[in-house]
Amino acid sequence: MFPRRFHEHPHISTRQYARLVRDWVAAIGLEPSGYGTHSIRRTKAAEIYRKTGNLLAVQLLLGHTKIDSAVRYLGVEVEDALSIAEKIDI
C-alpha cells in the first residue's frame, strides 16, 4: 500500500504503519495512546456487525476461518449471535 524508499523492501513495515496511524490520530487532535492499528481494525469490524448483524461478512473481512473466532473477537454473546442468525431466512 505504501511503498518504501528502498527498492529491496517494496512495502512499509508494521512498525512504520503504526507510526503513521499514531501521527494521523495526533494530527486530528485525539490522544494517540487510545488508538492503534488493531483497535481501528476491531472498531471497523464491530461497526459492520452493529449495522448489519452479518457475522459471516465480519468473519470474511477479518480473515477468520471459524465464525466462533469472529464472535469472540467482537465480544458478541453467543445468544445474541444465535438470535441474529435465527432471524435470517435462507
Return the domain boundaries, the chain.
Answer: 1-35, 39-86
Report which DSSP code applies to 32. Answer: G
DSSP calls for 37-52 = HHHHHHHHHHHHHHHH
Please give the pLDDT value at position 17: 85
pLDDT digits (tens, 9 = 90+) for 12-63: 788 888 899 899 999 999 998 888 887 778 888 888 888 888 888 889 988 9
Please give the pLDDT value at position 3: 59
| Cα 51 to Cα 10: distance, rounded to the nearest angstrom | 36
Q: What is the pTM of this model?
A: 0.57
Please give the pLDDT value at position 79: 74
Please give the pLDDT value at position 1: 54
* Whether pLDDT at 90 is above 80: no
